[in-house]
Amino acid sequence: MKTQVGIIGGGPSGLMLSQLLDLQGIDNVVLEKHSREYVLGRIRAGVLEHGFADLMREAQCGERMDKEGEIHHGFYIAHGGGKDRIDLHGHTGGNSVVVYGQTELTRDLYEAREKMGGKVIHNVDDVKPHNITTDAPSLTYRQGDEVKCIDCDYVIGADGFHGVSRKTIPSDKIREYEKLYPFGWLGVLSRTKPVSPELVYAKHERGFALCSMRSQVLSRYYIQVPLTDTVEDWSDDAFWAELKRRLPADLADALETGPSIEKSIAPLRSFVAEPMRYGNMFLAGDAAHIVPPTGARGLNSAASDIYYLYHAMVDHYKKGDDTGLENYSKTALARIWKAQRFSWWMTTLLHKFPDNIPYDDKLQQTDLEYLLSSEAALTSLAENYVGLPF
């Protein structure tokens, strides 16, 4: 098989790029190790920057998002028994975010790929990039006992943190930056009405909490837990009780509880790999960078990668201009490191760090008080949260 762009990874990043390229007549193939059902079963982020929402519309996948997604013009920071609202709309000149679950977004992308006859091959094993430093890269993969090959012009590694793409790059050709945080997030998905019309980020002496949502009848809640905890340590009743302890009284009293649909613990880490290009292979999304979920930058950072790659590929194939491809890593990393800073800052501001000394705690509290008293600081927070320009 021959194509122009071979994409490893059938998550939202790979599917989005595939859809955008196809709309421009650029042939591509997506290889995904799991089934479509497995990919759609993953419960992930649900806050989309306004730029991501625009990209979904450009990919002709935004109709259901615009109909069912929740437009949020702000969010709350709960602390000291009360809460303060962050006015995203007012501090950014009218921008906002869309709350729309990654599962639904991915389903929309799958349906669009199917409608256009896109080439998405599932349940593939042993995917390997070859000759990526030459003008004739290729991908091999196995289905059952048969090994198949795809010749392509470019390879896109959108296969996540544990994927093969980044690991293909020789260790002396790549540098990795990583920070591990001493806690995780215990998340619960429940078929309950959200406790707040907008997200609530709670700073509490017992630890961080987040009240989020997927829809008006589907809620997503998180609490900070030690890395030593397991899902089995937390019954539904124990989770709800702890969440209530970390919320202001009015929210705790209004909280609707119910059986968990999904429950998991995610460790928090910051990670960046540089550069994001090796030969004719380009990394995108979690294959190149990860952020703590505190600032809702993970999926959105992946979208910016796809934006840059998409335009670079169009310029290459339509105009013969390789400037975007040559500058991709530098351009993408400039925005990624800003997202890293913002996610690190939000995490540092709102979580309880077990090794903090009293001095650290006082600085953390002072940082929050300054934020809520400064128009400039609030504007900076809002600008980063709705999404910096691509």
What does each of the 390 residues of the chain score in pLDDT, given as a tens digit? 999 999 999 999 999 999 999 999 999 999 999 988 888 877 666 899 989 999 999 999 999 999 999 999 999 999 999 999 999 999 999 999 999 988 899 999 999 999 999 999 999 999 999 999 999 999 999 998 899 999 999 999 999 999 999 999 999 999 999 999 999 999 999 999 999 999 999 999 999 999 999 888 889 999 999 999 999 999 999 999 999 999 999 999 999 999 999 999 999 999 999 999 999 999 999 999 999 999 888 889 999 999 999 999 999 999 999 999 999 999 999 999 999 999 999 999 999 999 999 999 999 999 999 999 999 999 999 999 999 999
The pLDDT, as a whole number, for residue 101 is 85
Q: Work out the angle between the directed axes of helices 12-23 and 50-58 (0-180°, nearest 10).
A: 50
- The enclosing domain of 15 has a CATH number of 3.50.50.60
pLDDT at 291: 95
Question: Tell me, what's the pLDDT at 308?
Answer: 98
Contact 318, 266 (CB under 8 A): no
Quick check: is 86 in a domain? no
Sign of the Cα torsion 283, 286, 292, 293 reads positive
On whether both 50 and 133 belong to a single domain, the answer is: yes
User: What confidence score (pLDDT) does residue 45 get?
Assistant: 63
pLDDT at 44: 65
Q: Do 15 and 113 share a structural domain?
A: yes
**pTM reported for the whole predicted model:** 0.94
Number of domains in the chain: 2
Q: ∠ CA 115-120-126 to the nearest 5 degrees? A: 175
Same domain, 210 and 164: no
**End-to-end C-alpha distance for the chain, whole angstroms:** 34
Nearest by Cα to 201 from 363, 80, 350: 350
Query: Are residues 360 and 314 in contact, defined by beta-carbon separation less than 8 angstroms?
Result: no
Are both 159 and 213 inside the same structural domain?
A: no
357/340 same-domain check:
no
Q: Examine residue 162 and state whether it is found in any structural domain, yes or no.
A: yes
Q: Which two tokens stand for residue 164?
A: 């093969």
Look up the CATH number of the domain holding residue 236: 3.30.9.10
In a domain, 80, yes or no: no
Do 170 and 114 reside in the same domain of the chain? yes
Q: Cβ neighbours of residue 237 under 8 Å, at least 6 residues apart?
A: none
Q: Does the residue 82 lie in any domain?
A: no
Residue 43 lies in a domain: yes
> 164 and 206 share a domain?
no
Residue 89 belongs to a domain? no
Confirm whether 321 is domain-assigned: yes
3-state secondary structure string, 302-352?
HHHHHHHHHHHHHHHHHHCCCHHHHHHHHHHHHHHHHHHHHHHHHHHHHCC
Task: Check residue 71 and give its pLDDT.
Answer: 94
Domain coverage including residue 252? 181-268+352-386
What is the CB neighbour count within 10 angstroms for residue 189? 18
pLDDT in tens, 253-287: 999 999 999 999 999 999 999 999 999 999 999 99
Asked whether residue 228 falls in the same domain as residue 116, the answer is: no
Domain membership of residue 237 (yes or no) is yes
Is the domain of 112 the same as that of 189?
Answer: no
Rg (the chain; Cα; Å): 21
Q: Are residues 220 and 328 in the same domain?
A: no
- Residue 40 has what pLDDT? 82
Predicted confidence (pLDDT) per residue in 219-248, tens digit: 999 999 999 999 999 999 999 999 999 999
Same domain, 60 and 171: yes
Q: What pLDDT, on a 0 to 100 scale, did the predictor assign at position 39? A: 86
Q: What is the maximum span of the chain, computed from C-alpha positions, in angstroms?
A: 64
Predicted local distance difference test score (pLDDT) of residue 102:
86
Q: Quick one: 296 and 318 in the same domain?
A: yes
